[in-house]
Structure 1
Amino acid sequence: MDENQRSLILLQEISRGSRHSFNQFYEKYIGFVYQIAFHIIKDHAETEDLCHDLFLEVYQNSSQYDPSKGSVKAWLAVKAKSRSLDRLRKKKPLLHNRLQELLKEEESGADIAFLSQIEHHILKDALLSIPIQQREAIIRSYFRNETHKEISTKMNKPLGTIKSLIRYGLTNMRKQKTLLNWVDSSGGEKKNEL
């Protein structure tokens, strides 16, 4: 029996009220979830609160897991990522100061590589969801390190327009909370898809 099958059995037992199975599930995944959340939040107390809330949600709604969407570990990773980004958004009005850092971080380890892959998908999806000119201005500013004046020249737009495109683009990106079809725009689970 592989790791995912054992985790699935634990989730089934949790849904029947087994505290023992929940404790095993918690011990198995707390380090993984904590690592993802802390990687984003960078605050131990906030990360602990988030982990508590996430595992409480798993305990109360373990039947939300859908094996057709991926492994239990991937499900938890997406939940941790989603909740962490929501907390980060509440603390800081824009995520833009983390965009470049998230894309440039190169860390080893399978868990971090998996997390990095999710981050790239989130950023790509958010960028693809905004208007083309906003996307181009943000990419030029944050990923190519071009100045607003350089962007203005290359895009043949007034400087004020470039600043507006970037500001509105970041605002639109901030509104993008859909992570790999697991959560809806309110940050809650999609009941009809899980």
Structure 2
Amino acid sequence: MNAMARNHNEDMARWVKEIEEGSAEAFDRLYEQAVPWLLPIACQLLGDRMEAEDAIHDVLLAVIRHPERYDRSRGTVEAWLAVQLRSRCLDRLRKRSRIVLQEAAEPSEGERVQAPVRTEEAALDKLEVEAVRQALRDLPGLHRRTLAEAYYSSRSQRELAEEWQVPLGTVKSRIRYGLHHLRKSLERLGWAEAEGGDSRG
């Protein structure tokens, strides 16, 4: 490993540690470094840019929620993120396959049968979605809108900045603020661990 790559890995490991300590600036730096090389991987696996961006956002939101899960003794931050991204993409592909298979197996009119009981995993997923929705409702309107546009639209942060006629840094700051307070809300609702992974109280 050359010196440049080693320094890059050290930087990313340091940012993850600073994110664990509550640094929004460290997350911003990690985000800017990670997205450009994660996006081609996700696009190749999923074949859809919007879905690829969603998968990346899921991974980076997981970093915000659980930065303490990175273990540098097991590899670089890039490898850690890539493994998580691959897992997220495979989950999406499996879900996509289930939907296709379910549609193909839909009974015709007159052959309708009662839908199977929701599995425990699906029920937990539904509860977590509701928790995220509640946490989003707790955010101030401007930051809630920024997060929604950043995570659920096909536009980049730069495109949002141009549309809203504000500096790119303003959009990034709103996203950082929104993610930070989203995590706090999820902690209160019991869907995220407190920063640092220990309970103080």
- Alignment TM-score, normalising by the size of structure 2: 0.45
- Alignment TM-score, normalising by the size of structure 1: 0.46
Higher relative contact order (CA 8 A, sep 6+): 2
